[in-house]
Amino acid sequence: MQSILGEAVVQLNTDFWRGYFSDNQRDRAEPDWHAPVTVPQSARAALFQSLREFQLGDGGGPASLIAFNAERFRCQSSDIQSIVDSWFNEEKEHSRLLGGLLQRFGVEPIHSHWSFSLFCTLRKTLGVSFELQILTLTELVSTSYYSVLRCHCMDKAVRDVCALILRDEYGHVRFHNARLAEQYAKQGGVRRAYWRLQFWLCGYAAATVLWSSHGKCIRQLGGTTGEFYRNVTHQIKAFISSLDHSLTQESPSGGNTSEGLKYG
């Protein structure tokens, strides 16, 4: 299955992104693992299960591109391979952080889940263009999850982990925006409109899958369905607005101004 925008990296400033991922490893304070646990008893079971599923998905599984034709994307240059490796290394770091929370709460991790198995199957079989899109959308809706979780969970360690993951996710979203900008600009107006429509629809589908598994956790902490979907809408709108802005602007990232945008 081919995405309208394909997967080629055109005019991406690889020097910028190699430097970005390197710089992002600096000044990362470790969460306060020994802070008192302040998660309400009524919300603990749902939170622990949510964290277990995210720990599996955020680098706990195959932390790489796994589509049958993924090498077509990775092998464009050694710089692209390096950037992709850095991106997935940050995902593995998220798995470590979430594992730290599970250990703190005395909760065993999980090693499989039906939703994660389905997610990986789709990534493998539908091609790297689709895989990159589904991973981009996962970054966007996960950003909404961690934003709402950090807002409603007052536990110090949980908030620290959310802050570190959000720091990375904002960068990942910016990277994908820069990656798509040149291809987006080359499409005609009708094709861009069609791409935006399918991106919105796929984004809400991804959000609904996430909410079906993790909504109970957020609700028991005091969040709402509407709050989550408003955040998802903001994330997708900001992403597409940045692509539209890239039609007339340039930046060090290689064709757009996503480095200056806030996705939070």
pLDDT of residue 249: 66
* Domains of the chain (ranges, CATH numbers): 39-260 (1.20.1260)
102 pLDDT higher than 60 = yes
Side-chain-facing half-sphere of 25: CA atoms under 13 Å: 11
101 pLDDT higher than 60 = yes
Considering only CA atoms, which of 187, 210, 213, 182 is closest in space to residue 198?
A: 187
pLDDT band for 261, please (50, 70, 90 cuts): very low
pLDDT of residue 250: 54
Handedness of CA 47, 51, 53, 58 (dihedral sign): positive
Asked whether the beta carbons of 243 and 177 are under 8 A apart, the reply is: yes
Q: pLDDT per residue over 47-89, tens digit each?
A: 999 999 999 987 666 778 999 999 888 888 889 999 999 999 9
109 pLDDT higher than 90 = yes
DSSP 109: -
Range 231-237 average pLDDT:
98
Return the minimum-mean-pLDDT range out of 36-45, 63-72, 195-204: 63-72
135 pLDDT higher than 70 = yes
Instruction: Reduce the DSSP state of residue 91 to 3 states and report it.
Output: helix
7 pLDDT higher than 70 = no
Considering only CA atoms, which of 132, 141, 143, 140 is closest in space to residue 179?
A: 132
For the chain, give the percent of residues with pLDDT over 90. Answer: 72
Query: Does 162 or 111 have the greater pLDDT score?
Result: 162
Handedness of CA 220, 222, 228, 229 (dihedral sign): positive
The pTM assigned to this predicted structure is: 0.90
Task: Please return the burial class of 16, using the count of CB atoms within 10 Å of its CB with bins 0-12, 13-18 and 19+.
Answer: middle
